[in-house]
């Protein structure tokens, strides 16, 4: 005798702290899963009731009555389907746990405590939670489902306990943040567990942006042989069914929908768009964004991302020329704004510069050199913030990771803003993304991509006057910051010792700037801020 069940993977985009809204989203998605797929079980992401990560909201005692009220509302809905839902719980001893609930027939039939708590990179779960140590297996419609939460699948111990308790199918709920190689890492880990325990895994991941983190979804179902039979889309909310067949003593997954997995620039660009869209929308910034469009590559890519995230009507670009601004920059900025259909204005800063020079004359004999260069950048920042104040828009900063790493950005100038889409994107990647975005329609003028990068703050200035070539600099940043290599290892890899020495000196000297930089989309395993936490005051050195 055979029987088929349908497990629906619900890629949900929760809002942190919106417990009532998140509960309503869960109910709506469950009803849709019933209507569209005749679902038997709907599996949601980790901590979907609160959103993830809620950070120190978890330390507020008032959170937990709201969590209980949200769970009660899910039970009160009496949906004709089993729900697997993530939430936090605080017990009578004030210990907190990262939980999964199995809700069936209007009741919580089972609850599971996450066993392994990640405490690296962007994760701080040991700050908030105590670990569980018990398996949770639910017998439903003749199939024994084992519950696991995120990091549990990365450790064989939790899986072993669950299989020993009789699990035939593993349901793994996740809030797994994106970085460029993360999907391949997940597949590799889950295949390892499948090879060890010969159990199919249904892996359900959160989708959407939460401050600096982006969750790509990319949920999947893997059979007991390690083959991905169902693949959900990346960066899209929605439902993906997994059909399961019970035949005698065997449970088998059936092939289903297989969304394409984006790679390289497509994947990175999708993360940036998702991060910008959700930061703006979840924070209720209905007016949209404004940015300084300089005619350079960074602001050009930032504007393209913003338009793809929010639409042209919610984006504004402002060109703020001075004596050193090339005519080509003015022309290219206007051309890109026209191509993208965004509001565009030109605000020359000469009058402001003269006014500030007069203001400073009693104190400074002259305003020149770096002082004059930074004053130009800061005047532009002041203008953008004034527009933001008057319109309710958010200023997007346009600096990239290479510049932020070595301090090649002006504090309170081009670093100003509420969000920095390119904060974790190296300069060489900026060029690659611009070319990728132009692959079908040239929205970024080709001259912007081809011209040598310049801050245009003094005559004939180019970035490489002050920095190593970006192809070299980015290798140093990738090795030293992301991969944690020593300077000696970078030199052994063929990099110029003088360039390594210069770059590392600049990286170490500019932590104070990075502490004051706006948040931005995290797209690497080691971003500035959440992942790399270095002291501002430090004399630690490593020899080159």
Active-site positions? 46, 114, 150
- The whole-angstrom separation of Cα 27 and Cα 171 is 19
What are the φ/ψ torsions at residue 44 (nearest 5 degrees)?
Answer: -105, 170
174: alpha, beta or left, given left = phi > 0 and alpha = psi -120 to 50?
Answer: beta
Where helices occur in 198-296 by DSSP H, the ranges are 264-282
Dihedral sign for Cα atoms in the order 455, 460, 462, 464: negative
Residue 14: exposed, middle, or buried by beta-carbon count in 10 A (0-12, 13-18, 19+)?
A: buried
Nearest to 467 by CA among 422, 407, 424: 407
- The whole-angstrom separation of Cα 534 and Cα 395 is 27
Where helices occur in 283-346 by DSSP H, the ranges are 297-310, 327-340
What's the gap between Cα 27 and its chain centre? 26
Q: From the CB of residue 512, how many other CB atoms can be counted at a distance below 10 Å?
A: 11
Identify whether the C-beta of residue 53 lies closer than 8 Å to the C-beta of residue 210: yes
Residue 420 per-residue DSSP state: B
What are the φ/ψ torsions at residue 508 (nearest 5 degrees)?
Answer: -70, -25
Q: Order of strands across the sheet with 137-140?
A: 137-140, 143-149, 169-174, 201-205, 220-222, 228-231
């Amino acid at each position: 005798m055979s029987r088929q069940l349908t497990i629906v993977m619900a890629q949900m985009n929760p809002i942190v702290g919106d417990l009532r809204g998140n509960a309503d989203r869960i109910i709506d998605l469950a009803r849709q899963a019933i209507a569209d797929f005749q679902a038997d079980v709907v599996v949601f992401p980790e901590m979907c009731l609160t959103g993830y990560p809620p950070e120190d909201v978890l330390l507020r005692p008032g959170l937990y009555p709201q969590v209980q009220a949200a769970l009660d509302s899910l039970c009160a809905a009496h949906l004709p389907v089993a729900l697997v839902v993530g939430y936090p719980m605080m017990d009578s001893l004030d210990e907190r746990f990262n939980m999964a609930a199995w809700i069936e027939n209007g009741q919580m039939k089972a609850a599971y405590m996450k066993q392994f708590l990640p405490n690296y990179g962007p994760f701080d779960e040991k700050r908030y939670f105590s670990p569980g140590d018990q398996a949770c297996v639910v017998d439903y419609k003749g199939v024994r489902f084992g519950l696991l939460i995120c990091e549990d699948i990365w450790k064989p111990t939790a899986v072993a306990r669950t299989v020993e308790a009789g699990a035939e199918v593993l349901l793994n709920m996740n809030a797994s943040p994106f970085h460029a190689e993360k999907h391949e890492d997940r597949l590799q880990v889950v295949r390892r567990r499948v090879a060890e325990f010969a159990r199919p895994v249904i892996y359900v991941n959160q989708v959407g942006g939460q401050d600096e983190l982006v969750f790509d979804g990319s949920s999947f179902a893997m059979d007991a042989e390690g083959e991905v039979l169902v693949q959900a889309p990346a960066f899209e909310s929605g439902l993906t069914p997994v059909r399961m067949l019970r035949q005698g003593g065997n449970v088998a997954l059936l092939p289903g929908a297989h969304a394409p997995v984006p790679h390289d620039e497509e994947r990175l660009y999708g993360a940036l768009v998702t991060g910008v869209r959700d930061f703006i929308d979840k924070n209720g910034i209905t007016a949209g964004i404004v940015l300084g469009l300089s005619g350079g590559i960074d602001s050009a890519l930032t504007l393209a991302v913003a338009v793809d995230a929010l639409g042209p009507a919610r984006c504004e670009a402002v060109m703020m020329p001075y004596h050193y601004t090339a005519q080509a920059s003015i022309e290219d900025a206007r051309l890109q704004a026209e191509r993208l259909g965004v509001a565009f204005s030109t605000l020359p800063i000469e009058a402001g510069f003269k006014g500030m020079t007069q203001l400073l004359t009693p104190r400074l004999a002259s305003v020149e050199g770096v002082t004059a260069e930074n004053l130009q950048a800061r005047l532009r920042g002041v203008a953008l913030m004034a527009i933001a104040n008057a319109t309710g828009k958010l200023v997007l900063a346009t600096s990239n990771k290479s510049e932020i790493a070595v301090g090649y950005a002006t504090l309170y100038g081009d670093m100003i803003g509420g969000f920095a889409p390119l904060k974790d994107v190296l300069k060489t990647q900026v060029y690659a993304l611009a070319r990728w975005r132009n692959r079908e329609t040239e929205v970024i003028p080709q001259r912007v991509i081809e011209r040598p990068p310049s801050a245009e703050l003094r005559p004939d200035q180019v970035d490489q006057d002050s920095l190593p070539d970006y192809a070299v600099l980015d290798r140093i940043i990738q090795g030293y910051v992301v991969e944690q290599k020593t300077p000696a290892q970078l030199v052994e890899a063929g990099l110029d010792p003088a360039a390594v020495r210069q770059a590392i000196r600049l990286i170490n000297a500019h932590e104070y700037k990075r502490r004051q930089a706006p948040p931005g989309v995290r797209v690497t395993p080691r971003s500035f801020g959440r992942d790399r936490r270095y002291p501002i005051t430090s004399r630690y050195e490593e020899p080159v």
